[in-house]
Structure 1
C-alpha cells in the first residue's frame, strides 16, 4: 500500500539470532527503537540494517504481523474497530504463556505501546482468579516463605484467596 504512488521503503531488521527481516517502513516505524535509530542516523542509507540485539526471530515475526495489521486497521479509521477486536482475539488465541512473555519482552524493548498494552492486558486476564502457586509458576518466582509464614499470610488475608479458580 504505497501512498500517492510512491515506492515503498523497506527497512531491514536483524535479530539477535541473526535473522534478517524486510519490513515496510510504516510497520517498522511502529517500533519506537527503529524510529529513534533513523532520527539519530538521518544519513542512513536505504540498505542500512537496524540491529535488534534483544529480540529473536520468533517474537519479531509475531510483532511484525501484529503491527502490520494494526497499521492497516488505522488506515481504515473507525471502520476497522471491529476488525481490530477480531484480529486481536485470533492473534492471541494460540499463543502459549511462554510466547506471550517473549512477545512482551520484545514489544517492551521495541517500545510498541499499543502492543504492550494489549499483551499486558492479555496476561492479566490469563492470571485473573488464579492461585498464588499458578502465578509463581507463570513468572518463575520461587516461594521464599516457610510453610508457617505462608499459612499465617493465608489466614490474615483469607479474603484474597476466595473465588480462586482451579489451576
Structure 2
C-alpha cells in the first residue's frame, strides 16, 4: 500500500503532509477549499505548486474523509445553488455513519483546516447526537470528568430542575454504540 493517496480530477494537484507523516495528493480545487492551504500559498507566493503543505494537526484518515466531502461539495456547487441543500444532505448522511470518536476528530480537523461549510455540518451532527441527552451521556461523549461532589451535583440539579426535564433516559449504551443504533 502506498503512502500517497491521489484524487485525480484535475491536472493541477497539491500534496499535503499529514500529522502521521503520510503524503496526500489531491486536486488543487479541493485543496483550496481548506483555508489553511490557501493561506500557505498566500503567505508563500514563491512556493511552487509541487511544494508539500504540512498539516501538523490532521491525520490521513480525517483528511481523506474531509477531502471526499469537499470534492463532493465542489461537484454539487458546479451544478448550481439549488444543489447546496443536496450536498449538505449527502454530508449529513456520511457523518451519521461515523462513530462519535471519528466525528470529534473530524470537527478538530475541519476546524484546523478552516473549512467553514463542512465545520457547520459536522458540528450540527454532534449537536444532534447530544440533543436531549443526559448530563452523564454528554460527559461521556466529550470525555469530561465529573468534578462535582454528589452533594454539589444534587444541589445544581435541584436548582435547575427544568434543565433535566424531557431528557432521554440513559441506557447502558456508550455514546459510540448509541450512534450505531439510531
Task: Give me the TM-score of the superposition, normalised by structure 1.
Answer: 0.92
Partner in structure 1 of residue 63 of structure 2: 60
2:110 corresponds to 1:107: yes
2:1 corresponds to 1:22: no
Equivalent residue for 1:86, pick from 86, 89, 95: 89
Runs of 5+ in structure 1 lacking a partner?
A: none
- Encode CA deviations 1:114-167: one digit per residue, 9 max, x unaligned: 111111111111110000000111111111111011111111111110111123
Deviation at 1:82, TM superposition (A): 4.7
Count matched residues: 163
Q: For the Cα contact (< 8 Å) 2:96–2:125, is it kept in 1?
A: no
Equivalent residue for 1:69, pick from 57, 72, 77: 72
* Distance change (3 Å), C-alpha of 1:36 and 1:127: same
Which is helix-richer, 1 or 2? 1
Partner in structure 2 of residue 125 of structure 1: 128
Deviation at 1:10, TM superposition (A): 0.2
Runs of 5+ in structure 2 lacking a partner?
A: 1-7, 171-182
User: SS of the counterpart of 1:78?
Assistant: coil
